[in-house]
A and B are shown apart, each in its own frame.
Chain A
Amino acid sequence: MENRTKFNLKENIEIWKSELSQNSNMSLDNINELESHLLDEIDELQRLGLNTEESLLIAKNRIGNTKELTAEYGKVNKNIYFSNKIIPYLKGILLFMAFITITNLLVNLSLIIANNVGIDSKNLNYVSIGILIFSSLALSIFAYNKYKNMSLNSRKLSNIPFLVSIIVISKLLTFFSTLFITRSGSFGISDFGNLQMNLSVYNLLFGLFILTISFVTFYVSKRENKVKISE
């Protein structure tokens, strides 16, 4: 016996609108206009005897898929088209900047904490390396677990205002902590230099890791012909 839940037109239209807003270069006004068109089309199809679900399916097909709509609206919504193209690159740059700024801040903080606790220069070196490795591992495990549980909200994580706030706050804290370290006179310049050296090595390794991932992804996608690389 057929057991189907009642088709919810409103909910399905909301899903369609959400997909359009995420994947196309249409403004909210454009999407609302298309929704009004979709409803007119559904009314017409229902008058012809189709049920709600069938009408929605046909109406959506008649309006066109996201790719087709993106191409059509791209001719008039050039600003939105440009923003949609550039935003992923900006997010990538901001994520990298946030990472660099936070690691810089961590190095300064480890020096201040070590000085207060009374750790000597040799141990400070190990502590700073430990903090960098530990924070990287903790972040990776946290992201992996979130990804595994399907709860990684990459949209929230790569939210531009959020990233900009993180960068500004970290930059300010780094600036003031560096000022404190250089002005207080209780920190050895060689300790500061060693920590900066550790950070440089760490950044170099991280850079190599990113480059390797980029190359592997590029060649795998090229081999599988899944991603078209347009220059």
Chain B
Amino acid sequence: MEKISKELIGASSIPIILSILSKNESYGYEIIQNVKEISNGKIEYGDGTLYPVLHKLEKKELIESYWKMGESGRKRKYYKISNKGKKQLLSEKENWTIINQIISKLWKIEPSLT
């Protein structure tokens, strides 16, 4: 299967990032690797393009950041989801479920997103 279009990657970046951070705090490099792994390589965020998205989410107060010494002894900027971010994630889930249902109806297949 071909890689997903840039537009769709861009549109889905907020729910994906918020979902990852809702499970655990993380840093840029790890988020990129996580997304790549979960999507089986179909979604690959550009190294330099993820950070502006994270900063945008931080400005919207959906996530919080702080510098922390990682396990490897290297200082990294970690991100974690905020309460506002958790609410936003719920809303994103509802929206994407609706979209999934509509598309599924149109294509006459059963919705599989829970």
Q: Please give the residue numbers on chain A whose beta carbons come within 8 Å of chain B beta carbons, in ascending order.
A: 29-30, 32-34, 36-37, 39-41, 43, 62-64, 68-69, 72-73, 75-77
Is the C-beta of B56 less than 8 angstroms from some C-beta in chain A?
yes
A76 touches which one: B27, B47, B59, B74 (CB < 8 A)?
B59
How far apart sit A72 and B52, CA to CA, in the bound complex (Å)?
A: 6
Given A64-B46, A76-B56, A30–B27 Cβ distance below 8 Å?
A: no
CB of A76 within 8 A of CB of B52, answer yes
- In the complex, what residues of B have CB within 8 A of residue A62's CB? 46-47
CB of B52 within 8 A of CB of A37, answer no
B47 touches which one: A32, A37, A39, A75 (CB < 8 A)?
A37
How far apart sit A73 and B55, CA to CA, in the bound complex (Å)?
A: 9
B48 touches which one: A34, A39, A40, A76 (CB < 8 A)?
A34
A63 touches which one: B27, B48, B59, B72 (CB < 8 A)?
B48
- Other A-B pairs beyond A34-B48, A37-B47, 7, CB < 8 Å: A33-B77, A36-B28, A41-B29, A64-B49, A73-B51, A76-B52, A76-B56
Most chain B CB within a 10 A radius of its CB, from A29, A32, A43, A76: A76
Q: Mark B58-100, 1 if CB is under 8 A from A, else 0.
A: 0100000000000010111100000000000000000000000
Given A37-B29, A40-B29, A41-B29, A72–B49 Cβ distance below 8 Å?
A: yes
A-B contact pairs, 18 of them (CB 8 A): A29-B77, A30-B51, A33-B28, A33-B77, A36-B27, A36-B74, A36-B75, A36-B76, A36-B77, A39-B74, A41-B29, A62-B47, A64-B48, A72-B48, A72-B49, A72-B52, A73-B52, A76-B55
CB of B46 within 8 A of CB of A37, answer no
- In the complex, what residues of B have CB within 8 A of residue A34's CB? 48, 51
Overall SS of chain B's interface: helix
B51 touches which one: A33, A39, A40, A68 (CB < 8 A)?
A33
The interface on chain B, measured as residues whose beta carbon lies within 8 A of the other chain's beta carbons, has a size of 17
CB of A69 within 8 A of CB of B48, answer yes
How far apart sit A76 and B46, CA to CA, in the bound complex (Å)?
A: 16
Q: 9 smallest A-B Cβ distances: which pairs?
A: A64-B48, A40-B29, A63-B47, A76-B55, A33-B77, A62-B47, A76-B52, A72-B52, A63-B48
- In the complex, what residues of A have CB within 8 A of residue B59's CB? 76
How far apart sit A39 and B49, CA to CA, in the bound complex (Å)?
A: 17
- With both chains docked as a complex, state the minimum distance between the C-beta of B114 and any C-beta of chain A, in angstroms: 33
Closest residue of A by beta carbon distance from B30:
A40
Given A36-B74, A39-B74, A75-B56, A68–B27 Cβ distance below 8 Å?
A: no
How far apart sit A63 and B74, CA to CA, in the bound complex (Å)?
A: 19
Given A64-B46, A72-B48, A37–B74 Cβ distance below 8 Å?
A: no
